[in-house]
Amino acid sequence: MSDIPNDQPLSDAAAGFAKEQLKSFIERIERLEEEKKTIADDIKDVFAEAKGTGFDVKALREILKIRKQDADQRAEHEAIVDLYLQALGMISPN
């Protein structure tokens, strides 16, 4: 037998706490999801504004992708791409 008494009110209290904690997690996630949607809409608006002033959105996205990379990682990737382009005859070797 267990040393912990089977106390029903304690179980109800624990279940109530778990229920409130679960509800809190769900509400926080929902709030963050809404913030994420708002930010995504704002980003979309900035891309539309950039496009409207003549910038190439595809190029902007590529620049953002590059800026996220570590400098060494980017250099390695560029070297591999150059090697592949040379192998395909698309660029001349240096």
Query: Residue 22's domain spans which residues?
Result: 7-55
pLDDT digits 0-9 by tens, 57-82: 999 999 999 999 999 999 999 999 99
Q: What is the DSSP letter of 85?
A: H
Residue 12, CA distances (Å) to 6, 34, 52, 76 in order: 11, 33, 60, 59
Query: How many domains does the chain divide into?
Result: 2
pLDDT digits 0-9 by tens, 9-47: 668 888 888 999 999 999 999 999 999 999 999 999 999
Residue 70 placed within a domain: yes
pLDDT of residue 16: 86
What global pTM score does this model have?
0.66
HSE toward the beta carbon, residue 18, CA cutoff 13 A:
6
pLDDT of residue 3: 53
Q: Does residue 35 share a domain with residue 71?
A: no
pLDDT of residue 41: 98
